């Protein structure tokens, strides 16, 4: 036997074992390549033509996607700058809760909520996003009117700042959830 025949036999045996392990024969592979995949739906054909019909995207779906993209673009940029949830300077566990850093995050959250409200103005199917945005703006208003960013020393004021700050800290995630709910018409 020649030196090069042994490696060729090994390759042939491996190739054959792959076919045996998968249970496919050459004819099955050929048949499968001629048929469309089972998971992809066949396009519907209109009776008068042989071209597939394409379902148009509804105006409502287009509006929801536009709102989602606008809101997502805005909150993603602000979220990178200020953080969100427990990483937010407005988190109730953050040492920056009573500082200008939280006030800046609150203002950015309020602006993002304002953008969401202007994007959905007069459109149906955005109840969740509308509710979240209005709740955020109210929380920012309360945080500002209490003077939370000025480092209040009165215990009752500091306690009153905790609730709106928690809403603000979660604001970007809640706006994102509201925008996603808008895609479902909620």
pLDDT tens-digit series, residues 45-62: 444 545 555 455 677 778
Task: Note whether 152 and 98 are within 8 A (CB).
Answer: yes
Residue 122 lies in a domain: yes
Look at the alpha carbons of 119, 123, 125, 129 in this order and tell me if their dihedral is positive or negative: positive
Residue 49 lies in a domain: no
Total domains in the fold of the chain = 1
CA gap 80, 66 in Å, rounded: 21
CA gap 31, 49 in Å, rounded: 27
Strand, helix or coil for residue 45: strand
Task: Note whether 97 and 165 are within 8 A (CB).
Answer: yes
Residue 103 lies in a domain: yes
Report pLDDT digits (tens) over 114-144. 999 998 887 788 899 999 999 999 999 999 9
Structural domain boundaries, residue 124: 59-183
The whole-model pTM stands at: 0.67
Report, as an integer, the average pLDDT of 80-108.
96
Give which of 80, 73, 88, 101 is closest to 176, Cα–Cα. 73
Task: Note whether 162 and 92 are within 8 A (CB).
Answer: yes
């Amino acid at each position: 036997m020649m030196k090069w025949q042994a490696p060729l036999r090994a390759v042939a045996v491996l190739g054959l074992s792959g076919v045996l392990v998968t249970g496919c024969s050459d004819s099955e592979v050929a048949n499968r390549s001629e048929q469309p995949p089972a998971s992809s739906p066949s396009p519907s054909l209109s009776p008068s033509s042989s071209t597939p019909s394409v379902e148009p995207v509804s105006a409502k779906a287009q509006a929801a996607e536009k709102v989602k993209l606008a809101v997502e673009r805005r909150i993603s940029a602000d979220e990178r700058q200020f953080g969100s949830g427990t990483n937010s300077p407005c988190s109730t566990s953050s040492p920056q809760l009573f500082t200008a850093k939280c006030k800046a995050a609150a203002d950015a959250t309020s602006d993002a909520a304002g953008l969401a409200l202007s994007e959905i103005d007069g459109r149906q199917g955005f109840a969740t996003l509308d509710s979240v945005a209005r709740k955020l703006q109210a929380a920012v208003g309360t945080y500002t009117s209490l003077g939370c960013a000025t480092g209040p020393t009165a215990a009752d004021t500091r306690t009153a700042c905790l609730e709106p700050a928690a809403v603000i800290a979660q604001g970007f995630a809640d706006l994102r959830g509201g925008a996603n709910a808008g895609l479902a018409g909620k």
